[in-house]
Amino acid sequence: MTVVVRETKETTIRCEVVPGTGLATVATGERFLDHMLVTFARYSGLDLSIQATGDLPHHLIEDVAICVGAAVAAMLPPTAARYGDRTIPMDEALVHCALDLGGRPFYRGPLPSSLYDHWMRSFSDHARATLHLRVLRGRDRHHVVEAAFKALGLAVRDAFVDSGAVFSTKGGVALRIEEPG
């Protein structure tokens, strides 16, 4: 289990993530965000427990993404496949997600919602993931954003598969911050 707690003067977030079956208990006060987090959990196969409060939707959505991304980064096994690539149709929407959890943050979108485009960027930064989302078609923003969360969830599921080998020409990469003294 990975627990990430983030407290600022704008938000208080507690996020628990466990490899599991995709169960979620989410309470953020933002119904659409809750819906997207439950969707992400279901498709990723990660069990999420998130309690969050915030002053503005923007701060809340961003800080939840930071916590979920940090938890995903902390949980990634060294012999994970790293890569995931999924395309999801949802009614008129069609969204493609390509993901590398290899430690190099980069995000390319956009989604047709600035709040949820920002969620994806914040997730990518803190998961240390290269994340490309392509909206191939879609008119309904709800459908496009939901298809993006489903595609991301399935790509994360694929990236977490234990391959039994380190997928890098560098071999295992260790990064340590040592305190002086």
In the chain the beta strands, taken as DSSP E runs, fall at 2-7, 11-19, 24-27, 46-54, 83-90, 93-100, 106-108, 130-137
> For 87-115, b where at least 16 C-beta lie within 10 A, e where not — what string?
ebebeebbbbbbbbbbbebebebebbbeb
Q: Does residue 171 belong to any structural domain of this protein?
A: no
pLDDT computed for residue 148 by the predictor: 98
Closest CA to 152 of 71, 101, 84, 51: 84
Between 163 and 5, the more confident residue is 5
Q: What would the mean pLDDT of 54-73 be, rounded to a whole number?
A: 98
Write down the H helix ranges in 4-140.
31-44, 57-75, 114-127
The CATH number that applies at residue 94 is 3.30.230.40
Please state the rounded mean pLDDT for residues 43-68: 98
Q: Is residue 42 part of a domain?
A: yes
**167 belongs to a structural domain:** no
What confidence category does residue 95 fall into, taking pLDDT thresholds of 50, 70 and 90?
Answer: very high
Q: What is the pLDDT of residue 167?
A: 63
How sure is the predictor about 64, in pLDDT bands with cuts at 50, 70 and 90?
very high
Banded model confidence at residue 169, pLDDT cuts 50, 70, 90: low
139 domain-assigned: yes
Indicate the number of domains in the chain: 1
Tell whether the model's pLDDT for residue 172 goes beyond 70. Answer: no
Q: Which residues lie closer than 8 Å to 157 by C-beta, 6 or more apart?
A: 43, 44, 45, 84
In a domain, 166, yes or no: no
Is residue 82 in a domain? yes
**3-state SS assignment for residue 34:** helix
Query: So what's the pLDDT on residue 163?
Result: 83
Query: What distance in Å separates the CA atoms of residue 112 and residue 91, rounded to the nearest whole number?
Result: 16
In this structure, which amino acid lies at residue 25? T
Residues above pLDDT 90, as percent of the chain: 88
pLDDT given at position 178: 78
CA separation for the pair 151, 6 (Å, rounded): 26
What range does the domain containing 70 cover? 2-159
